[in-house]
Amino acid sequence: MKRAVAVALLFLAFGVGVAQAGGGKIGIGAYGGLSIPIIQDDTGGGTIFGARVPLRFIPVVTLEPFYASSSLKDVEESFASGTYTRSGFDETAFGVNAILGSISGGGMKFYPFGGFGSYKLTREGSEDLKETGWDFGLGLGIPAGSSLSIQIRGEIDMIVTGDTSRKFGNVTAGLNYNFPMGGGGGSAKEQSAASATAPPTASSAAPGSPTPAAGAATGAAVAADSAGAAGQNAAETPAAAPAADATPAPTETPEIAPSGDKPSGGQK
């Protein structure tokens, strides 16, 4: 258990560092909801609470270490010998989820996720159950401000117990806060950049000035910016020849009308 916690903390510290260095995103969230046992006659449902730290290093996947705790209700059963109560489980879990895409920034986002972790089930009269568990589900991220988002999720947790498993359906709602990152970029930059890993210098460069391409996609974006800026410059200074036109403008000499009319055309 201690080793697992140490590994998780090491992973978290590493993830934060990589996210910060690589211009990724890091957040923190808390959540709560309902945990409902699936085909389990000997335990009731209850509430679940937890915390998670979404770490986004690359655009495709967000990794999310989590901790969860639930308290399940007792069950009452009637037998020939009377009505008896069996204590429900207390569950604690920690692990990591992998989320497809980003869960915050921009508009509403649907996303699938899956993960694994270490689960512990305890109750009166039984030995503690410590097993590996798996989870998967769907989530919905709703922006609630520049750095906040509401996360609504439905998931199934499967705690493997030999050849079978104990399964729980969880429905949770939570609030995530995204820490502002120097290179992380806000939603506007994320939407305009072709790649989220584009270095910040590309977007902060002066219009029209060439910048080195960081990648194929970034190079295309920069080229588009440069062409656009060049076009803009040409519109603002009509006397200047277009940058792409290497042919010098012909020099016109004013016509001298025999009748003394004013010359037409010519240089401006």
Partner 1 sequence: MKTLRWIAPVLALVLLITPGCILTSGQITIEFELGVITVTSSTSIESEDVDLNTISEYADHKSDLKGLADVAALGSFVNLGPDVGVELWMTPALTAYTTEALLKADATAKMLWGPFNVPTATTKTVDWDESARLFSAAGKAALITEVTGDGIFTVYAIGNVGVYSFRVDNGSLVLVLDAAQ
Residues forming contacts to partner 1 in the complex (CB under 8 A) are 38-42, 77, 79-82, 84-87, 100-101, 109-112, 114, 123-126, 134, 136, 138, 158, 160-167
Quick one: 165 or 195, whose CB is closer to partner 1?
165
Cβ-in-10-Å burial (0-12, 13-18, 19+) of 263 comes to exposed
How do beta strands 148-161 and 55-56 pair?
A: unpaired
Of the two residues 129 and 181, which places its CB atom closer to partner 1 in the complex?
Answer: 129
- Nearest to residue 150, comparing CAs of 172, 131, 171? 172
Which burial class, exposed, middle or buried, applies to 172 when counting CB atoms under 10 A from its CB (0-12, 13-18, 19+)?
Answer: buried
Nearer to partner 1, 71 or 226 (CB): 71
Closer residue to partner 1 in complex, CB, 107/265: 107
Which residue matches tokens 């998670």?
Answer: 52
Would you say 16 or 100 has its CB closer to partner 1? 100
Task: Output the six-digit token pair for 2.
Answer: 């201690």
* CA distance linking residue 176 with residue 54, whole number of Å: 9
CB 129 within 8 A of CB 121: yes
**Positive or negative CA dihedral for 134, 92, 26, 144?**
positive
Q: CB 80 → partner 1: shortest distance, Å?
A: 5
**Amino acid at residue number 106:** G
In the complex, minimum distance from the CB of residue 153 to partner 1, in angstroms, rounded to a whole number: 13
Q: Min. distance of Cβ 60 from partner 1 in angstroms?
A: 9
Q: Nearer Cβ to partner 1, position 14 or 110?
A: 110
CB of 244 to partner 1, least distance (A): 35
Alpha-carbon gap, residue 53 to 24, rounded angstroms: 13
> At its nearest, how many Å lie between partner 1 and the CB of residue 167?
7
Q: Nearest distance from residue 40's CB to partner 1, in Å?
A: 5
Nearest 5°: phi and psi at 64?
Answer: -145, 95
Rank residues 127 and 261 by Cβ distance to partner 1 and give the closer one. 127
Distance CA 102, CA 40 (A): 34
Please, what is the minimum distance in Å from the beta carbon of residue 124 to partner 1? 4
